[in-house]
Structures are given as structure tokens and as C-alpha cells.
Chain A
Amino acid sequence: MSKEENTANRPDNTAFTQQRLPAWQPMLSAGIVIPGFVIIGVAFIGIGVALFVTSQNIQVLEKDYTGIETNSSCFKCINPRVKNCNCTINFSLDKLFEGPVFVYYGLSNYFQNYRKYGASKDAAQLTGDLAYFTEPSTSCAPYRKDAKGKPIVPCGSIANSIFNDTFKLFQIVNSRNVAVPLDGKGIAWWTDYNIKYRNPTTNPLKNAFNDTVKPIFWPRPAYELDPTNPSNNGFINQDFLVWMRRSALPNFRKLYRRITEGEYAKGLPAGDYALVIGYNYPVKAFDGRKKVVFSNVSWMGGKNQFLGIAYLVIGSLCVVMSIVMLIVYAKFKFPDEE
């Protein structure tokens, strides 16, 4: 009988089938991890210092204008019945607020992340597909058609609830208000503006919106959102795009404008300023707060104390751990590690 036949069932004697694959067997013990702890500790402290210093250099100015307090100039506007209410917030800067300055509006206790709210839009309609102008997606209900059965464009709760306060900033120079130019270009995501949201190709844009109605809360139809700039209308209006990108957390801010032009490109010089607010958005129904935020940004974005401190704490902890490990290692070491 041949050898092969005798051993037809013999398993393959390979490293894999015999579970003898060469393996690296890391052994987590005090002696080995000390360098790791030291490296992580030092690196983290370095990162932490960089983050902290960067964050310290960022200037932030927040102005709450909800008007809850009776002495606030916006107190008069908090009643929802008051229409077209304007109020002014005055503030002064001691030193130059370095540019480019970003102007945000902030809302608190506002749950843009509410599940049904997030679903209440028609993505196809917002890409400019005219078929969805006449029959918007059912996900928009109850902001899909008005009482007369006319389709709402843009439909849905998100579009309907767009933030509609307006801000104008003036520097008070010799008791004279000098308007600070606010730049509204490029405040939305590039992809939203160029790819995701499209206007219908109809020219003029207004014709695409025939037989549709504007969202219930809107004062003007979508094609007239920005009367000053015809190309900033419809679904690619920058403010609209910023609003449509739902915030992750209930206390948020959204970019409103940037101060990048003229003599203010380098920042806001020290002096007195007046912020004139067109107060439209009701927040009393959800105990919300509204604020305006001036901030300059760095490579790490806005001001963020937390991350720098967290890095410093964890880095220090790792250094302490490495010392502890050193003590442990000195006392209890493996016999083979000498």
C-alpha cells in the first residue's frame, strides 16, 4: 500500500491549521508601558499648551438680546404680537477685536435635532426638481400644502421655522453711526451651495414658483429672500443654507456674517458700537435665548477652553502614571526582564 493512500485523511501540517502561526505576544506590564506613558504624557501636555494658548488668544463677545430683563432695550419686542420691532444693543471695545471677525446668532433650548423636525423637508425639492414643487414629499406634512391645497415651496418644518432676525452693526464715531459692512458670502458649506441645493433652471426663478405658496411663517417667498442680491435667492440663499444644516445640540450658534471688508478687515477697532436688531423670531414658547456672538477664529475654530485643559490634565495624569509605574516596576518586576 502506498504511503499516500495510507494517510489520505492526514491533516495538513501547516502553521495555520496547526495554530502555530508566528505571533507577537505583547505583555502589558509596568516596565514596558513606562515609555509609553511618558511619551503620551509629554505629547499631550504639548498639545494641551498649544490648544490652551490658541484658545486664550481668541476673542469672543456675546450679547444676549432676548429681552427677558425689563431694562433691556429688546424687552419691548419680546411680545410676539409686536411686529417689525427693532431694538439696539450698545457695546464698546477696549482694544482692537482682531479680524476677520465672525458674527453669529445664537439660540438656546432650540431643538433643531428633534427627530420629526429633521425629517420634515423634501431633499428632492431642494435640488430644484420641479416635479416636487407641485407634489412635495409627504415627509413635509403638515407643512406640505396650505389650507387651499397649494403646495408649499420649500416645504417642511425646517424651512418654515427659518431664523429671521436681522442685524446691522454700526461703529459710533464722533456720535455718528458708521455702518460696519457685513459679508454674507460663503457662510454656508461649499458643498451645500454648489452641489446639494440647486435652484430650478427656470429663468427667471420666480416662474418656477408659480402655483406654489411660501412657507407659512415666511414674510417673503423663497425667490425674494435677498432683495439686494438676485443670485442669493431661492434654495441657495446663504442664510437659508445655514439654517437648513441642523444643529446637533440645543444650544448652538450659526454663522450670520463675516466682517472682512474695508477698514474693518483687520478687525473691529476699539470704540463704541451699536447693534441694531430686527427682532422677529419668537423664543418665548420654548424658554429660549437669543444672542449675537462676535468671534475671531484660529486653526482650531472658535474659542474652546475645554480641549486644551483636557489635554493638559490627561497629559499630567500620564506623567504621574509613569512615575507610579516606575515605582511598581522597581518593586515587582518579571524575572525575565532584567
Chain B
Amino acid sequence: MLNINRPRYKRSKLERALNRDVLCCVALLFSMCLVGAVGHFMWRRSLPGTPPYLVPDPQGSLDAPSLSAFYMFFTMIILLQILIPISLYVSIELVKMAQVFFITNDVDLYDAEWDRRVQCRALNITEDLGQIQYVFSDKTGTLTENKMVFSRCSVMGTEYPHQENAVRLAVVDEPDPDQEVVFDQRPRRRREPGWTLAGGEEEEESGSGAGQRPQAAPPRSKAARSAPGDVAFSSPLEKEVVPDKALLQQIVKIDFSGGGWEVDPYLDFFLALAICNTVVVSTATAQRERLSQLSSASVSTGPSYALSSLAQKVGSLRRSLASWKPLTRRASPDCQVLAPEEEEEEVEEEERGRASGRAGDMDALRSCRLVVDSDEVLFEAESPDEAALVYAAKAYGFTLLARGPASVAVRLPHGERLELEVLDTLSFDAHRKRMSVLVRHPVTGEMVLYTKGADYTLMELLGSPCAEQLNDDQRSVAAYCQKHLDQYAKEGLRTLCFTRKTVSEREYSEWSTLRRTALAAMDNRGGQVRDSAVHLERDLSLLGATGIVDRLQDSVPDTIEALREAGIQVWVLTGDKPETAVNIAYACRLLDEGDMVINMSSKDKRQCASMLDCTLEAVRRYPLGPDGAGTDPTVAMVIDGRTLAMALESDLQERFVELARRCRSVLCCRVTPVQKSDVVKVIRDKLKVMTLAVGDGANDVNMIQAADVGIGISGQEGMQAVMASDFAICRFKHLRKLVLVHGHWCHSRLAHMIVYFFYKNVAYVNILFWYQFYCGFTGTTVIDIWLVIFFNLFYTSVPPIMFGIMDRDVSAETLMGLAELYRLGQGEYKSSIFWVAILDAFYQSLVCFFIPYLTYRGSDVDVFTFGTPLNTVSLFTILLHLSMEIKAWTAVHWGVMMGSVGVFFVSILAYNALCVTCNPPANPYWTLQTQMGDPMFYLVCLLTTVVALLPRYTFHVLRNTLRPSPLLLARNLERLAPAARRRWTQGWRRGTRGGGGRGDAPGGEDGSRRGGPVPDLDPSPAPPAPRDTSTTIAT
């Protein structure tokens, strides 16, 4: 906990830009007030005498022009202060609340397994989700399920591949066809080099490049594909391991009744598997209590429930011998047989286990049942790896029965209960990367040290333990085992080695003294304890190694590919060793076959520096992509923790960052939690980019807090990551919609709304300002002051808020399908857009003031009668301006727009009719009524509104026609009728299939030029097309 930083106060990028523009507005306000003050001064100076309309102060004397001008400056501030959009801040908060509501209510971001929605823990940075340029992800538990499944092992140099187990896993992996539809709505496209959506020239290419081949997942990723979502924690998948027949035979051969205790390495191996851990065995009763709390609500009556469980048990027994049938609950209510509830649980577990292995090999299942059915215990492990190993041991009959402070009980395959005295437990630490258990064997009486740990640490500690003649054996065992370990790593398995060591009485007594001293030490106790452990852990003899598979979560490859297509650079930071990490990286498409992978691994800093220089030299030859990040042949980097630490030192930092900027994806292996956050901080600060960090465990907290947007995955590793995060999701795949759709929407909506707010206030206030030129800059409001206040408060406040909440520039499907749109949505709020909006506001206010002015000039119009058309014209202009900005009109939009106009007229008519002498200096009585009886009023309003909006309208039209933005093109595609869309898609598919590689788009020359990339919006699953280059990791 000590290395957890205090949470940073996060403020969104948009809000920072907003504050800059508010300051611009303040400057604008002051300059306008200055104009007012100077104008008043000059007006007063130009008067030759004292006209009757100049009102002296109560004492009867007039202020000097300069003093009057000084006062006028402040009067102007009061008059024009609406220019500063205070209401904007309130509106932003409202919009963000609604955005959070929509995000949390998204069904696609709901996880049925945990019954959890996405949580928005930070309410103020939703729009930053739309600005992400770098994603930093943890691996275990984030990309993977963090559900460890024993996959294969190597004992005494012999590999046991567990084919049956692999078959069973593959069956579970078989993706549900329904799910395919949900998650792969369109065929995955292969990103063509140089293919982009951004510019005009490029678009043409992209049209022909619409030879995006529909592409199925590569074959190898299938094995790594995650299980369907209904696999729960401690699911049968993890619990049930189908034993390897060959290995089972080895165990059967063990002679338990004599000398076999001493020599049989298989026995030792499985004992080590079963006891070398900190797994606590909980009785079924404890488990039952927990489960029954959950299930009590659904259980109607106790007796019938118990009865049904009994019936099931019978049924399950029958089924275990006969055929597989779906579970049916048969309960007869009149039969009052009570059965202990725990049995029901047991059967339930069994049933589930069975269901998952339904299509598996029958033989394997039966043999499995023989072992598992003996009795049911539940393991509670600190880490999923340990649990997986204990379950694996159990599959071979070595069931961990109980763990006490000084003893551990194991049931052996033939049913005997073996109680071992635990002399000491040398717990795991990050430096040793291993743990050991020292036990005294009850039969032989000798002390044995079982050690489990990372292969690279244990391999160094092997020695010749007892007999010389074993030496050769040992050496070959180590060599074979190493070979197997390498193979495991290549397959992306997590590897662990197991060793044993017989400790003599003398050695033990010596060591225990040392140990006691270490434990009693006052200073540097941790170091001494560790040293004492190291002292004993030497001259180990290798038993074997295990490979544990940590399966990728659902849709992880798709998500990562979508993020990469969106122009986001993806980094994966993991504590795993490089080989494992690289494999996972390929499996989840972080690395592609086409990528140029840079391997950074160096022993010392000099080497690291030269390596950085060389690589940078090489990479610089490739042109940077149009977005300034990433190169044409995509470059990826794999770097290990030690090299990373060196590269992050201040003298190499610049070069490292420069190199990292050109990498599409980066994989950091063997990194510590602090390094994770350091990397994020360096990239964030040096490149000035928006970063997103996603992780699930306590070790990701630093990184999550350091990033601009922190995302916690609420998984199996506690709540620390979620507590530190800004958003908490359940699955990595949710990131795709959260970022690509909600991020885009939130940012686009908010950006447009903010710009509109600035425009609105400037446009309205300037009407009051222009009038100052015709009233001697005396601060007269041409519109009743209450109506000025109401204008912002009621008449024009709801439409922009609704616009900020509900506008939808491109539909979710298109945004998910065309991830490229994400990057294009990032430039929605620029200062140029702000200034264009301000200029447009100036123009519109000029029109809105001067057309009525020229119309009523020289007539007998009075102040508020003149103000009425100004106010009305402003309302229509401002609302119609918004109408041009709204991309999708729903019933709500219509209602709010019509409602605003309706409220405007009804309330002003009421105000002008009821207020005879209220609000004394003003005289609004019956003005709107009078004006509405005059045809000129309508003619002025019509002309002014049209003239005010004509330039913007024309500009929109011409831009949409001559140079349509990709977002507009994407929207255009949505408008096609489903039939037309399907026709398009089918024609395009035919073209792809016939032409093989880059099929031509069917829209002809015109279509390919203007249509740009065409997302397949057809929800039917894509026909699988073989990928031309697909390498499998698991051969």
C-alpha cells in the first residue's frame, strides 16, 4: 500500500481548453466595455450644450464626461456580462450527468456473469474517453480471464501433453454461434498499409482499398480464445482436469507400500503439486452457507428443494453411466424426504462440470469421475495458479484435504490419508520468485523440501543432492525439462518448476538456528528471512514443470485490433516473461505477423543506449503516418523490465520516447507496478498525449492513477483497481464500445455544445452592444431586462443541453465498425472552431440588429417595440443555428425546439399583458401584442433570420458536397435503406471473393471516390475467409 499514490485531481482536456476560451471571452468583454466607455466619453464631448434628455444627478449637476465614461465602463460590464457563459458550466455538468447515465445504462457494457454494469466513478472526464491516443493495459486478468487452467506438465523429463484435456478445453472454447453475431458484427478487416480515412487523396485509395477482406480469426487464436461468458469463478473448467492416460499409468505403478516412498519422482511431483502452496481447504459446509445465501431467494421451500437435489443425485449417477441429457429438475412435492443440503451443492458442481465437458471424450470423463467423485473439497487459493495446480493434483488422486499450521493432509490415489508435518513454509517473494515447503514424511521420517518457482530461478539452483549415479539422470531431466519449458512458453503458457530436496537432520538443525535468528532480527528482518530461505533452497533436484494456461478474455483480439485501427497506440505491460508475453501478444493481435518487431533487451546501459540509437536510426527511415504517430510498416517493440528501467532514465528518455512514438504497439515484460506508472507518466508528459490505463489488480493502481483516464476491471483480484479507477468495467472487450462509441459521442456532443454556447451568448449580447452605438453608449437595454435574463434561462437553455445529451453524429454500429472514425472525432474542439463560431456570432448579431434597425430607422418606434423583433429574431436565429448543428432529430428534439419557441411566445405574451406597471422603468406593456398585429414584424423576422443563417447554411452545404468529412460519409451510409446497404455489402463481398486480395468496390468509379470506406452494417456473421498470412503459435 505504501507505493500507492494519492489520486490525482483529473480535469478533462476539453475543460482545460474551455477555460482558455472563457478567458478569451473575458478579454472580449473588457474590450467591448472599453469601446462603450470611450464611445460614451466621445458622445458626451460632442454635445455642444446640455440637452434636455441629459439627466443630472439628484443634486442637479452633471458628471464630467470622463467620470461618466468611467462609470459607464462598469455599467457595460453589468450589461454585457452574459458574454461570459456562466450557464455553460451548469449545462456541462447536466450533460455529463446524462452522459454518465447513458454509459451506465448501456446493455452492451453490462456483464451478465457478474450482474454488473459499467461504473462511472469519475463524473467529469467522460469526454476524455474520446481523446485517447495511448492505451496502457495490464495483461493478467485484463486481457486474460485470470482463470488458470492446468494444461500440461513434464515430469522427470517426460512430457505429458494432456491431449484429452486440450480437447476438452477446445470444446469449451468453441464459440457460441449466437455470440459471434453479437461480438463480430462485421467481418474484421485487415488494415491495408497506408489505408486511411483522413484526406481526400487517400479516400480514393480507400475506396478501392475497400478490398478489406472479411476475415475470420486466425486459427491459432482459437485455442487462445476465451470461454463463453457463463464460466464462473472456480468453474468446472478450472476444477476438472482430465488426466493424461500415460501419467495416470505412472501413478498406478507407484508402489505405496514400501520403498516406493523414497524413490518415486511421480509421487513427489504430485505431492509437491498438492502441498507446495498456501491453499486453504474449506469444508463444503462453509461453502454451502455462502452459496445458500445467494440461492435462498430462488428456493421456494426447503423440503422440495432437498428432494429435488436427491432426485438429481440419483439422476446424475445414472447419467454418469449412461448418456448425457440436459439437466432437468424433477421434484415431486408430496414426497417428504430430507437430505443434507451440501450434497446438493456437490451435485450441482458435478453437473456443471459435466455440462462443460459434455462433448468431451467419454473415457476421459469416466476416469476423471473416478478420481473426482471421491469427495468434494473446496480450495481457496491466494492466486489462481495455485488453485489450478491443486486441482490438477486432485485429478490424479492427490487431494489436499486439510492444511493446519503445522501439518498438511493429503489423500493419496488409493484412498489412504497421508498426514505430513510441516516444519516450515518459505513464502513467495518477488526477489526469489519461488516458494518452498519443508515437511517431514510420516512414513520414511525424512525431511523433504518441495520448492515451486519460476523456471529461470530454479534451474540455477539444481545440484547433485544425494547420489552420484543420479547425476546423469538429473542432467538429462533438466535438459528435457528446459526444452519443454521453452515450448510451453512459446505456447503462451505460464510455467512453473517443481523441485525436491532431502534435508538431513544436521542441515536442518543448522538451518533452523539461522532461520530463528532471522525471524527474530530487529533490523532488515525481511532481507534476513529471505537470505535464510536462499540458504536452504540449493542443491535442488528437479521433479518436473507445469504449464498453466491463462485464457484470453472474450473478444480481446477484436478489441485490440479495433483500438489500433482507431489510431490508438496500445501498450501491454506485464510481469510475465518475454516469451509468454509475446505469445499472448500475438494471440490478442497486439502484434501482427506483418509487424516489424523490435526486441529490446540489454544487460547494461551502454548496450541499451546503442540499441536505442540503432533502432531509432532504422525506424526513422520509415515515414511517419499522417497522424504523426506510427509508421507505414507498423513497428512494434518488445522490451523487458530491466531495459525499460534503463531506457526511462533521464538521459535515454528522449530517445526511448521518440522510438515509442513510432511504435504501433509496445509490449513491456517483467515490469514492476512502479515501472508501469513511470511509463505512463513519461509518455503522458513527454508526448503530451491522452493516455488510458486499464488494469484489474492492486499492482495496476499506480498506472491507473497516473493515466488521464484510468479504467479498472472488476475481476477476481479485489477492488483496489476499481477503487482507483475512473471507470470500472467487467470485461476488456467493453473497452471497445466505451472508448470508440461513448468516448466519441461524449466528446463530440460536449465539444459542439460548448462551441454553441459561446456562439449563443456572443450573438445575443452583441445585439445589446450594437444598440449602444445608438443610445450614446449609456447602457440602455433595448430588450426588457427580464427577457434578457429569461432568454438564456428558459428560451435557449434546454435545446443546447438536449443537443449535448442526445445528439448522435454517427450511429454506434458505424463507430464500432469504422474504428478510424474515432481519431477523426478527436479534433472537434479547436480554437479555430471557437473563433469561427465567435466570428459567425458577430456576423449574425450584426444582421439581427441592423436589418431591424434599417427597417425602423426614422420611424416612431419606441424602445421595447424595437427590441421585440430583435429578441424574436435572435431566438429564431439561435435556435435554427442549432438545428443546423443537430445531426439526428428525434421526437425529443422536435419537442424541445417547438417547446422553446412556444414558451417564448406564450410567456412573453403573458408578461406583456399582465405587467402594466411592474418593473417600473421598463414599459413592456402590450409590445409583443402590438408587434404581432403588424405584418412588418413578420417580414423583418423572416428576412433577418434568413440573412443571418444563409452564410453558415451555404457553407455547410458546400462543404458537405465538395469536401464531405468522413464522419458525414459514415452518416450517409447509415441512411441507405437496409436493402440497399445489403446489396452494397454483398456486391462488395463478391468482389472481394472473386478478386481475392484487393477487390474493387462495386459502386463504380463514383462510389469508390466518394463513398470511401464502406462499413458492413449487415449484422449477419461474416463468411469466413482464410487469411493469407496466418502463423500459429501453438503448433
Contacts and interface: CB of A to CB of B under 8 A. Distances in A.
Interface residues of B, number: 102
A27 B971 contact: yes
A27 B116 contact: no
A1 B968 CA distance: 48
B975 interface: yes
B323 interface: no
B53 A251 contact: no
A301 B936 contact: yes
A2 B890 contact: no
Given A196-B916, A336-B972, A6 B926 contact: no
Contacts of A254: 860
Interface in B812-853: 812, 851, 853
Contacts of B53: 110-112, 114, 117, 157, 161, 286
Given A19-B808, A195-B916, A335-B1010, A247 B888 contact: no
B52 A285 contact: yes
Interface stretch (A64-72, A220-228, A325-333): A325-333
Contacts of A282: 52
A200 B368 CA distance: 109
A173 interface: no
B169 interface: no
Contacts of A191: 925-926, 930
A150 to B, nearest CB: 16
Quick one: which of A31, A106, A189, A217 has the most chain B CB within 10 A? A189
A246 B862 contact: yes
A252 B858 contact: yes
A87 to B, nearest CB: 21
Interface in B876-900: 884, 887-893
B866 A248 contact: yes
A300 interface: yes
Interface stretch (A177-185, A259-267, A268-276, A304-312): A304-312
Given A113-B863, A117-B55, A21 B892 contact: yes
Contacts of B115: 6-10
B936 to A, nearest CB: 6
- Chain A, interface residues (CB within 8 Å), range: 35 or more
Interface string A1-43: 1100111111111000111011111111111010000001000
B602 to A, nearest CB: 49
A78 to B, nearest CB: 13
Contact of A284 (B49, B116, B780, B923): B49
A288 interface: yes
B370 interface: no
A307 B888 contact: no
B854 interface: yes
B251 interface: no
Contacts of A253: 858-860
Given A23-B890, A300-B936, A114 B778 contact: yes
A233 interface: no
A194 B559 CA distance: 75
Quick one: which of B55, B887, B975 has the most chain A CB within 10 A? B55
B921 interface: yes
Given A137-B920, A311-B943, A336-B976, A11 B104 contact: yes
Contacts of A196: 916-917, 923, 925
Given A6-B115, A116-B778, A248-B865, A300 B935 contact: yes
Interface string B41-60: 00000111111111111111
Interface string B713-748: 000000000000000000000000000000001000
A161 B52 contact: yes
Contact of A1 (B75, B295, B745, B890): B295
Interface string B963-976: 01000100110111
A29 B775 contact: no
Given A115-B780, A161-B52, A288-B51, 9 more contacts: A9-B116, A10-B117, A13-B107, A21-B806, A24-B889, A301-B859, A306-B854, A310-B851, A334-B961
8 contacts: A1-B294, A33-B957, A189-B930, A247-B860, A254-B860, A286-B48, A301-B859, A336-B972
Interface of B: 46-60, 75, 102, 104-107, 110, 112, 115-117, 294-295, 297-298, 745, 774-776, 778-780, 782, 806, 808, 812, 851, 853-863, 865-867, 884, 887-893, 916-917, 920-921, 923, 925-926, 930, 934-936, 939-940, 943, 946-947, 950, 953-954, 956-958, 960-962, 964, 968, 971-972, 974-976, 980, 1003, 1006-1007, 1010-1011
A-B pairs with the 3 shortest C-beta distances? A285-B49, A286-B51, A248-B866
